[in-house]
Amino acid sequence: MSIVENTNLAVKTGIKPNPFIYTVQDKPELAPVVIDLNGLEVSYGDFKAVRGINLQVRQGEIFGILGPNGAGKTTTLSVIEGLLKPSAGKVQVLGLDVVKESKKIRRQIGVALQSTSFFDSLNLVELIELYAAMYNLYPTKTRIQELLERFQLKEKSRVQPKQLSGGQVQRVALLLAVINDPKIVFLDEPTTGLDPQTRRNIWDVIKELRAEGRTVVLTTHYMEEAHELCHRLAIIDQGEVIANGTPGQLINQLGADIRITVTARLPLEAVQKLPGVTKASYEGERLTVYLQDAEKSLLGLQQLALQNGQPLADLSVKQPDLEDVFLALTGRSLRT
Find residue 232's DSSP bridge partners: 63
Q: Which of residues 54-113 bind ligand ATP (CB under 6 A)?
A: 67, 69-75
Q: How far is the CB of 75 from ligand ATP (least distance, A)?
A: 3
Q: Could you tell me which residues come within 8 angstroms of residue 124 by beta carbon, excluding any fewer than 6 positions away?
A: 148, 153, 156, 157, 158, 159, 160, 161, 172
Rank residues 54 and 163 by Cβ distance to ligand ATP and give the closer one. 54
Stretch that binds ligand ATP, among 13-21, 41-49, 227-235, 242-250 (CB under 6 A): 41-49
Stretch that binds ligand ATP, among 43-51, 87-95, 257-265, 312-320 (CB under 6 A): 43-51
Other beta carbons less than 10 A from residue 287's beta carbon: 21
Rank residues 40 and 49 by Cβ distance to ligand ATP and give the closer one. 49
Q: Residue 3 to residues 15, 34, 331: CA-CA distances in angstroms?
A: 13, 20, 40
Contact status: 289 vs ligand ATP (CB under 6 A)? no
CA atoms of 313 and 54, how far apart (whole Å) = 48
Rank residues 161 and 239 by Cβ distance to ligand ATP and give the closer one. 239
- Kindly compute the dihedral angle of the four CA atoms of residues 110, 114, 119, 122, in this order, to the nearest 10 degrees: 70
Rank residues 75 and 244 by Cβ distance to ligand ATP and give the closer one. 75
Rank residues 44 and 119 by Cβ distance to ligand ATP and give the closer one. 44
Query: Which position among 35, 49, 79, 305 is part of the footprint of ligand ATP (CB under 6 A)?
Result: 49
Instruction: Spell out, one character per residue from 143 to 172, where the chain touches ligand ATP: x when CB under 6 A holds, - when not.
Output: ------------------------------
CA atoms of 271 and 284, how far apart (whole Å) = 16
Rank residues 221 and 232 by Cβ distance to ligand ATP and give the closer one. 221
Other beta carbons less than 10 A from residue 323's beta carbon: 16
Q: How far is the CB of 49 from ligand ATP (least distance, A)?
A: 3
Q: How far is the CB of 47 from ligand ATP (least distance, A)?
A: 6
Cα–Cα–Cα angle for 62, 65, 67, nearest 5°? 150
Q: How far is the CB of 44 from ligand ATP (least distance, A)?
A: 3
Rank residues 55 and 266 by Cβ distance to ligand ATP and give the closer one. 55
Query: Which position among 44, 99, 195, 319 is part of the footprint of ligand ATP (CB under 6 A)?
Result: 44
- Binding-site size for ligand ATP (CB under 6 A) equals 12
Q: Which helix (H) or strand (E) holds 143?
A: helix 141-150
Instruction: Spell out, one character per residue from 194 to 223, where the chain touches ligand ATP: x when CB under 6 A holds, - when not.
Output: ---------------------------x--
At residue 101, the 3 state secondary structure works out as: coil
Own/partner long-range contacts of 122-126 (Cβ < 8 Å, ≥24 apart): 122/160, 123/157, 123/158, 123/159, 123/160, 124/148, 124/153, 124/156, 124/157, 124/158, 124/159, 124/160, 124/161, 124/172, 125/157, 125/158
Q: Residue 153 to residues 92, 127, 167: CA-CA distances in angstroms?
A: 35, 13, 11
Q: How far is the CB of 84 from ligand ATP (least distance, A)?
A: 9
Find residue 37's DSSP bridge partners: 55, 91
Rank residues 113 and 137 by Cβ distance to ligand ATP and give the closer one. 113
What is the contact surface with ligand ATP in residues (CB under 6 A)?
44, 47, 49, 67, 69-75, 221
